[in-house]
Amino acid sequence: MAKVIKIKKGLNIRLQGQAEKILETAPRSEEYALKPPDFHGLFPKMMVKEGDRVKAGTPLFFDKYNEKVVFTAPVSGTYKELVRGAKRRILEVKITPDADTEHHDFKIGSLGDMDRQEVIDKMLESGLWPMIRQRPYSVIAKPDDKPKAIFVSGFNTAPLAPDFDFIVKGQEDQFQKGLDALAKLTDGDVNLSIDAENTQSNAIRNAKGVKVHQFSGPHPAGNIGVQIHHINPINKGDIVWYVDFQDVIIIGRFFEKGIYDPSKIIALTGSEVLNPRYYRVATGAKISDITRDNIRQEEEVNKRFISGDALTGAKVESSGFLGFYDNQVTVIPEGDKPEFMGWLIPSPEKFSVSRTFFSFLMPWKKYRLDTNIRSGERPFVITGIYEKVLPMEIMPMQLIKSIMINDIDMMEKLGIYEVAPEDFALCEFVCPSKIEMQTIIREGLDTMQREFS
Amino acid sequence: MKPLHDLVEKVKPHFEKGGRFEKFYRTFEAFETFLFVPGNVTRRGSHIRDAMDMKRTMVHVIIALMPALLFGIWNVGYQHYKATGVEAEFIDQVVYGLIQVLPIVVVSYISGLAIEFIFATIRNHEVNEGFLVSGMLIPLVIPASTPLWMVSVATIFAVIIGKEVFGGTGMNILNPALLARAFLFFAYPSYLSGEVWIAGTAEQLDGVSGATALAVLAIGEGEMPSALDMFLGTIPGSIGETSTVAILLGAIVLVATGVGSLRIMLSVVAGGLLMGGILNLVAVNEFMEIPPYYHLIMGGFAFGTVYMATDPVSASQTGVGKYIYGLLIGVLTVLIRVVNPAYPEGMMLAILFMNVFAPLIDHYVVQSHIKKRMKRMEKIPAKA
C-alpha cells in the first residue's frame, strides 16, 4: 500500500475555468438523448417505436453485434424521435421526460447472495452493462468474457477534470456497493487507483474488497490505460475491464435500490464559463440546461462546447447532450480567426510544451486556449517529444507509423493492445506536425479488432 | 493588420478552384499562411493544440544560425583583406563579406523555394517549411568564392534528389543541405579544394596560402593556425563553419528551446574526442599527433554537430539510437579526416553516411524494445 507509482512523463495543461466546489441542481431538461456514437463500434437496433412510453430503465435499443447488450432510457417519458446523420447513421435517440421520473423496478435481492451470472444478467437487463468497458480496443465489454482484472481510476488528471473526492461525498455507500458488484465479475483483482497526495476521501482511500494503488505525477497519470500499464499490463490475449468512477456509483445505486438511476455530478468548466461549478444531472441531459446564462457573452468569439475534457471530449452543439461516459462539460473559445504572423509572435497568451514560447517561464499562469490548429498537417519531422508525454513502455511514433502503413504484426509487437485514443491525446496536443493521433490509434484498434473477430 | 488581411481575402478567390490562377493555389496558400496563421479549428481528437508548429520550429533554427552567419560575413571580409594585405576597417570587412555572402543566400533560397513550390503544386500539398532551414544551411557550408550558378545547381539537385523524390520534408533520408555540399564537392572538386577558401584572392595573389587547417594537416605543408584562432573562427573556411564560438551560441539557442537534440550533439563530440584520442595515442603521422580537441574546432566539425547531425528527419529517431548515431558520426569524422587524406573534411561524409544508417540503427533499437516487451509477457502469466 505504501508504494507510490510515480509517473514522471506527462503534462498538465493549465486551463482557465476550474469548477468551484459548489453543487447545483440542474433544471430538468426538456429532452434527453442517448447517443449511439458514444459507444464505439455500436450498431443500434431500435426496440421502441416513436410515441412509446418508457420508464427509466426501459430498453431503447440493443447492439446488433452483441445482442445481449441493451441501452435503456435514463429518465421516464415518451420516446420522441431519432436524429440521423450521414448514411442514416443514428446519432441521437431523444426522449421527452415526464415531470417526475418513474423507475422500472428490477427487483434486486441482496448483492451478497447473487453469483457472477446473476449480477451480469441484472446489469445487462437494466442497461448498466455499457458502463463496463474492456481493453484492448476500448469498447463495451462482452458479457461472456472473463477478464483477468477490473480497473477503476479514483482520480482524474485531465485538464479541468472534476474532483472525485467532491463527487463521492454523500454517495460513499453506493460507491462501495458498486465496487462489491464489480468484485463479483472477476476472479482477479478489482484495482482502484488513487492520487497519492490529493485523494483524501476515506471512501476512496480505504475502499474495501479492492486493491488500492497509489499514483503521483502529471496527466495522464489518471488515465486508466496508464494505470493498467503500471499495475498489470495487457499482453496479447488478455482482456481487462474498466469502469468509470461515477459509473461505479450508478452501479452501486442500482444494487442498493433496484432502479436504474443514471444521475451523476458533472463539472461545468472552461474559460468561457462565468461560474464554473458542479451540477447534478442525469446521463443524456441537455448541455444548455447548465450553460444557459452562464457563458461569457462576446459577439466576436464563437464558443466550442465539449462533452468531456478538452483533450478527448466530443464536440457538441450548444444545444447538444451530455455523453454517456462524460463527467464534465468544457466550454472554450473557437480559434476560427486568422492571426497575423501568429507563428512568429511569441504572445504570452500562448501555451506550449516547447520552450520556444514563454509559457515555460510562467508555471503559475492559467491559459485561455482556443481550438485553432495552428498550421496545417505535416509529415513527422520532430522526434523525441512524444515520448515525453506518454508514460508507458511504448514507442509512440513507431506505433503510429505502423498503424499508418497498416502493419498488423508491428502494431501488435509495439503494444497496440495497451493503448486507447485517450492515451495519445497529449501526443496529439504537442505534435508540431499536427497529426491526428487519436484518430489514427482508433483506426489501428479497429483494424486489429476486425482481424481477430 | 485588417487592410492586409482584407487584401489577402480579396485576391484569394482568384487562386481557389475555378479562379484564374487556380494552378498557383499552393503558392498563394504558402504566402497566406506565412502572413496569417489560418483560422482552421480542430474537429476531432484534442480540441486544443500546442502553439508550436513547423514554421516556429524552423524559425528557431534560423535564429540559431544567425551568429554563424553574421560571423561568417565578417570573416569573409577579414580573410580577404588579410590575404590581400590591404588595411581595412571593420565596416569595410563587413561590407565586403555582405557583397560576397548575400547573393549566395539569395540564390540558395530562390532556387530551392522555386522547386518546393513547383512540387507542392504538382503534388497538391501544402508547401513545407523544411527548406527555410536548408536554404540557410547551404550557403553556410560552402566557401564564399563558390560561383552563384553552382550554388543554384547544387541547391536544385539537393532539393529534388535529396528530398522531393522521397516525398518532401519529413520523408528524406539524407540531409539536403549536406547533399548540396557533397554534390559540389564531387561534381566540381576544383572549386571546393585548394585555394578557394578566401574570396577574391585566387587570381590576384600567388604567395598567399588559403588552405584550411585540415588541408594543412593532410598535405603536410603550410602553417597551422593557433587553437585560439580556430576556436574564434578567424581562419579561412566555409562561410559559416569557422567560428566555434558562434556555433556554440547557436547550440545554446537550439538546446534551450528544445529544438535541437542535445543527445546527438554531445555524442558526436564524445565520438570525435574518443577517436581523436585513440589516434593521438598511436600517432604515426603529423595528423595523428594533434590533440584530440583540435578536431572539434577544425573544419566543419562544430557546425555539422550542431546544425547538421541534429536534423531530426535524417537523424536517428529513437532515444538510444541518437546516442549511437551521434557517437558514430564523431568517430567516423575523425577517422576519415586522419586516415583518408583524399577527403580532409570528414564531417560531411560521416553525417551523410550515418544518415543512411540511421534507419538501421532505429530498426535495432525498435527490435530490442520489442524483445523487452516480449520478456515482460513471459514474466506476467497471461491469465492472472
Q: Which residues of B touch A414 (CB under 8 A)?
A: 366, 369-370, 373
Distance from CA of A54 to the nearest CA of B (A): 33
| pLDDT computed for residue B1 by the predictor | 63
Q: Are A370 and B51 an interchain contact pair (Cβ–Cβ within 8 Å)?
A: no
DSSP tag of B24: G
Question: Between B262-282 and B319-339, two packed helices, what is the crossing angle to 10 degrees?
Answer: 30
A280: β partners: A25, A265
For A51-67, how does the pLDDT look when each residue is reduced to its tens digit (9 = 90+)?
999 999 999 999 999 89
Whether chain A has a CB inside 8 Å of the CB on B7: the answer is: no
Rounded to whole angstroms, the Cα distance separating B235 from B146 reads: 17
Q: Which residues of A touch B48 (CB under 8 A)?
A: 13, 15, 159, 310-311, 332, 369-371, 429
Whether chain A has a CB inside 8 Å of the CB on B261: the answer is: yes
Q: Is the pLDDT of residue A401 over 80?
A: yes
| CB–CB contacts below 8 A, A to B | 219
Q: List the one residue out of B69, B53, B68 whose CA is nearest residue B104.
A: B69
Rounded to whole angstroms, the Cα distance separating A227 from A213 reads: 9
ipTM given for this complex? 0.88
More confident call, B17 vs A91: A91
Distance from CA of A401 to the nearest CA of B (A): 12
* Residue B103 preceded by cis peptide, ω within 30: no
Whether chain A has a CB inside 8 Å of the CB on B147: the answer is: no
Q: Are B40 and A383 an interchain contact pair (Cβ–Cβ within 8 Å)?
A: no
Residue B203: pLDDT band with limits 50, 70, 90: very low
Residue B199: pLDDT band with limits 50, 70, 90: low
Q: Are A336 and B257 an interchain contact pair (Cβ–Cβ within 8 Å)?
A: no
To the nearest whole number, what is the mean pLDDT of chain B? 85
Distance from CA of A36 to the nearest CA of B (A): 17
- Within a 10 A sphere around the Cβ of A433, how many other Cβ atoms? 18
The arrangement of strands across the sheet holding A53-54 comes to A32-34, A90-97, A77-84, A53-54
Residue B210: pLDDT band with limits 50, 70, 90: low
Q: Hey, what amino acid is at A164?
A: F
- Mutation target vs B (from A301, A381, A431, A442; most B CBs, 10 A cutoff): A381
Residue B383: pLDDT band with limits 50, 70, 90: very low
Q: Are A311 and B46 an interchain contact pair (Cβ–Cβ within 8 Å)?
A: yes
Distance from CA of B200 to the nearest CA of A (A): 37
- Mutation target vs A (from B9, B29, B49; most A CBs, 10 A cutoff): B49
For B222-259, how does the pLDDT look when each residue is reduced to its tens digit (9 = 90+)?
667 788 888 888 888 889 888 999 999 999 999 998 88
- Mutation target vs A (from B25, B48, B53; most A CBs, 10 A cutoff): B48
| pLDDT computed for residue B206 by the predictor | 46
Q: Are A371 and B45 an interchain contact pair (Cβ–Cβ within 8 Å)?
A: no
| pLDDT computed for residue A26 by the predictor | 84
Give alpha helix (H) positions in A153-234: 164-168, 172-183, 202-205, 224-231
| pLDDT computed for residue B31 by the predictor | 77
Residue B384: pLDDT band with limits 50, 70, 90: very low
Q: Are B56 and A149 an interchain contact pair (Cβ–Cβ within 8 Å)?
A: no
Out of A313-327, B13-27, B364-378, which region has the weakest mean confidence (pLDDT)? B13-27
Q: Which residues of B touch A313 (CB under 8 A)?
A: 47
Dihedral angle, C-alpha B122, B127, B128, B132, nearest 10 °: 120
Share of chain A above pLDDT 70, in %: 99
To the nearest whole number, what is the mean pLDDT of chain A? 91
| pLDDT computed for residue B153 by the predictor | 94
Q: Are B170 and A381 an interchain contact pair (Cβ–Cβ within 8 Å)?
A: yes
C-alpha cell at B360: 538501421
CB A243 within 8 A of CB A152: yes
Rounded to whole angstroms, the Cα distance separating B102 from B124 reads: 32
Which residue of A355, A374, A414 is in closest CB contact with B257? A355
Query: What's the N-to-C CA distance of chain B in angstroms?
Result: 64
Rounded to whole angstroms, the Cα distance separating B212 from A436 reads: 49
| pLDDT computed for residue B194 by the predictor | 60
Q: Is the pLDDT of residue B347 over 60?
A: yes
Q: Is the pLDDT of residue B215 over 50?
A: yes
| pLDDT computed for residue B122 by the predictor | 85
Whether chain A has a CB inside 8 Å of the CB on B228: the answer is: no
**H or E element in which residue A60 lies:** strand A59-63
**What is the residue whose three cell numbers read 487562386?**
B15
Rounded to 5, what percent of chain A is helix, strand, coil?
25, 25, 50
Q: Is the pLDDT of residue B320 over 90?
A: yes
- Within a 10 A sphere around the Cβ of B11, how many other Cβ atoms? 12
Q: Is the pLDDT of residue A351 over 90?
A: no
Out of A367-381, A389-403, A417-431, which region has the weakest mean confidence (pLDDT)? A367-381
Out of A149-158, A294-303, A340-349, A350-359, which region has the weakest mean confidence (pLDDT)? A340-349
Q: Are A232 and B380 an interchain contact pair (Cβ–Cβ within 8 Å)?
A: yes
Residue B353: pLDDT band with limits 50, 70, 90: very high
**What is the residue whose three cell numbers read 501488435?**
A412
Q: List the one residue out of A112, A165, A116, A180 whose CA is nearest residue A144.
A: A116
CB B230 within 8 A of CB B31: no
More confident call, B384 vs B230: B230
Q: Which residues of A touch B325 (CB under 8 A)?
A: none
Q: Which residues of A touch B41 (CB under 8 A)?
A: 304, 334-336, 370-373
Q: Is the pLDDT of residue B208 over 60?
A: no
In A, minimum Cα distance to B31 occurs at: A341
Share of chain A above pLDDT 90, in %: 70
| pLDDT computed for residue B207 by the predictor | 44
Which residue of A340, A369, A373 is in closest CB contact with B36? A340
Q: Which residues of A touch B126 (CB under 8 A)?
A: 376-378
- Buried b / exposed e over A207-223, threshold 16 CB at 10 Å, is beebbbbbbebbbbbbb
Residue B204: pLDDT band with limits 50, 70, 90: very low
In B, minimum Cα distance to A337 occurs at: B39
Which residue of A375, A415, A439 is in closest CB contact with B45? A439
Distance from CA of B126 to the nearest CA of A (A): 8
More confident call, B82 vs A193: A193
Distance from CA of B322 to the nearest CA of A (A): 10
Cβ neighbours for A48, distance < 8 A, ≥ 6 positions apart: A54, A58, A59, A60, A61, A79
Residue A329: pLDDT band with limits 50, 70, 90: very high
For A245-293, how does the pLDDT look when each residue is reduced to its tens digit (9 = 90+)?
999 999 999 999 999 999 999 999 999 999 999 999 999 999 998 888 8
C-alpha cell at B119: 512540387
Q: Is the pLDDT of residue B150 over 70?
A: yes
Out of B2-6, B137-141, B164-168, which region has the weakest mean confidence (pLDDT)? B2-6
The pTM (predicted TM-score) of the whole model is 0.90
Dihedral angle, C-alpha A127, A133, A139, A140, nearest 10 °: -30
DSSP tag of B355: H
Whether chain A has a CB inside 8 Å of the CB on B128: the answer is: yes
Q: Are A335 and B41 an interchain contact pair (Cβ–Cβ within 8 Å)?
A: yes
Distance from CA of A270 to the nearest CA of B (A): 12
| pLDDT computed for residue B382 by the predictor | 47
| pLDDT computed for residue B222 by the predictor | 65
Distance from CA of A37 to the nearest CA of B (A): 13
Rounded to whole angstroms, the Cα distance separating A265 from B68 reads: 59
For A116-165, how does the pLDDT look when each residue is reduced to its tens digit (9 = 90+)?
999 999 999 999 999 999 999 999 999 999 999 999 999 999 999 999 99
In A, minimum Cα distance to B314 occurs at: A381
Q: In this structure, which long-range contacts are made by residues A200-208, counting pairs with CB atoms below 8 Å and at least 24 apart in sequence? A: A200/A165, A201/A164, A201/A165, A201/A168, A201/A169, A201/A172, A202/A172, A203/A168, A203/A172, A203/A175, A203/A176, A204/A154, A204/A164, A204/A165, A204/A168, A204/A175, A207/A154, A207/A175, A207/A176, A207/A179, A208/A176, A208/A179
Distance from CA of A171 to the nearest CA of B (A): 32
Q: Are A374 and B128 an interchain contact pair (Cβ–Cβ within 8 Å)?
A: no
Q: Are A372 and B40 an interchain contact pair (Cβ–Cβ within 8 Å)?
A: yes
| pLDDT computed for residue A374 by the predictor | 79
C-alpha A214 chain-centroid distance = 21
